[in-house]
Chain A
Amino acid sequence: EIVLTQSPGTLSLSPGETATLSCRATQTVGNNYLAWHQQKPGQAPRLVIYTTSHRASGIPDRFSGSGSGTDFTLTISRLEPEDFAVYYCQQHAYAPLTFGGGTRVEMK
């Protein structure tokens, strides 16, 4: 099973700043099948990025993903108020599929 570790646990930032979220895997994620999901309080998650760097439908271009192998990054440029949420990485390469523990992006 691939274990995903996200860091930091919490990011405190102001609107307009850049958020950099990390996701590290215990083994290589095949085909870089690494996704990011956003979850706001009381809501279901929403897909943001899949296969490391592909934005999901309707996701603004201030969201970008990068990385390969075992190290992946989600970058949110020019934070908007609606971007403050919890972000989870997920590997979608091998069963059992696994999620990271999440990074909370909170408003400073």
Chain B
Amino acid sequence: QVQLVQSGGGVVQPGGSLRLSCAASGFRFSDRVMQWVRQAPGKGLEWVALIQRDGSDQYYADSVQGRFTISRDLSKNTLYLAMNGLRPEDTAVYYCARGAGWVVDFWGQGTLVTVSS
């Protein structure tokens, strides 16, 4: 069955860095666009980033452009989100998500990132 197992969340100080991982199984990872979506506490969903199937192109929300980097390792079936220059407003549950085209058709369980001093 399809699984997206996330890791790497935690507490980090403002200005700090963190890298999230998402290990995929149960489907052909290289066939799917992958994304990150986040949800601040008590708020709605906010799209963060998308990476094409072969990793050739990436797209970002304006709010994270230049600070976050989405990448994938096809040999490890793993998606990453490197986050630098973290701000308190980046505090959220981050979801790894599989795409069918650009629509999210399967969501990971989410991992909490807290940016606080």
**Any A CB within 8 A of the CB of B27:** no
Q: Which residues of A contact B106 (CB under 8 A)?
A: 47
Contact between A37 and B104, CB atoms less than 8 A apart: yes
Complex: how many Å from CA A23 to CA B102?
19
Q: How many residues of A contact B (CB 8 A)?
A: 24
Residues 12-70 of A at the B interface (beta carbon under 8 Å): 33, 35, 37, 39, 44-47, 50-51, 56
Q: Which residue of B lies closest to A1 (CB)?
A: B62
**Any B CB within 8 A of the CB of A98:** yes
Q: Which residues of A contact B50 (CB under 8 A)?
A: 95, 97
Contact between B59 and A50, CB atoms less than 8 A apart: no
Contact between B107 and A35, CB atoms less than 8 A apart: no
Tell me what chain B mostly uses at the interface: helix, strand, loop, or mixed.
strand
CB distance from B70 to the nearest CB of A (A): 12
For B45, B46, B61, B105, the residue with the greatest tally of chain A CB atoms inside 10 Å of its CB is B45
Contact between B103 and A51, CB atoms less than 8 A apart: yes
Contact between A46 and B59, CB atoms less than 8 A apart: no
CB distance from A27 to the nearest CB of B (A): 17
Complex: how many Å from CA A99 to CA B46?
6
**Any B CB within 8 A of the CB of A88:** yes
CB distance from A56 to the nearest CB of B (A): 7
9 contacts between A and B (CB under 8 A): A35-B104, A44-B108, A51-B103, A90-B103, A92-B101, A92-B102, A97-B35, A97-B102, A99-B47
Asked whether A44 and B100 contact (CB < 8 A) given A88-B45, A95-B50, A96-B47, the answer is no
For B104, B107, B109, B110, the residue with the greatest tally of chain A CB atoms inside 10 Å of its CB is B104
